[in-house]
Chain A
Amino acid sequence: NAGVTQTPKFQVLKTGQSMTLQCAQDMNHEYMSWYRQDPGMGLRLIHYSVGAGITDQGEVPNGYNVSRSTTEDFPLRLLSAAPSQTSVYFCASSSRAGAEAFFGQGTRLTVV
């Protein structure tokens, strides 16, 4: 089983550019989420979705958009990249909100 698949694994952006981080899961999980990981700060929730067509903001949503058109996919969009968005981004899925989460391998993003 692939589990949670994230692409790309690495990305460098210029300030002001936009891009979409892709996330797909094949476990038929209803709940999906995006986290960013910065040194010494653990994992912080950006956005989450409890099912297709339903999304909500997490702890650090500013500068990011999400949509959930299918159960499998949960892309994260950076509208206008800023150096403060340099981070490692993880997508996760679980069978329900608050349950054990399964993580992708991450996308390491650098904004210059």
Chain B
Amino acid sequence: GQQLNQSPQSMFIQEGEDVSMNCTSSSIFNTWLWYKQEPGEGPVLLIALYKAGELTSNGRLTAQFGITRKDSFLNISASIPSDVGIYFCAGPRISSGSARQLTFGSGTQLTVLP
């Protein structure tokens, strides 16, 4: 099936450091989405990417849609304690039914140390 491989699984970084995480697939995606989930909450959309090569920023977050359309990257610059959470990549896949479904990576758990 169209699975998303997300890495790393977890990261421990010092406040102020930059962070990079990525998501890869064996299949082509036409959209890449990046979500953040804080403890006890549902995932919240951070960035949406729609075009191969696209680079989009949201404050200190920057995400890129890979040229091959099989990967995406999320960077966080100058991390702060409130960046703590689980970051998920997601993309629509073609299911056996007629509707496209969002499939999610397994997440990157980010811990920011003061």
Give the B-binding residues of A (Cβ under 8 A).
4, 31, 33, 35, 40-45, 48, 50, 56-58, 90, 92, 94, 97-106
Contact = CB atoms under 8 A, between A and B. Distances in A.
Contacts of A43: 43, 88, 90, 104
Contacts of A33: 101-102
B40 to A, nearest CB: 8
Secondary structure type dominating chain A contacts: strand
Contacts of B95: 58
A104 B104 CA distance: 16
B101 to A, nearest CB: 6
A35 B41 CA distance: 14
Contacts of A40: 9, 106
B92 A98 contact: yes
Given A98-B31, A100-B48, A50 B99 contact: yes
Interface string B79-114: 000000000101010010111111111110000000
B33 interface: yes
B100 A97 contact: yes
A103 B106 contact: no
Contacts of A45: 101-103
Q: Give the top 8 A-B pairs by smallest Cβ distance, nearest first.
A: A98-B92, A98-B100, A103-B42, A97-B99, A42-B106, A43-B104, A42-B104, A97-B100
A22 B105 CA distance: 26
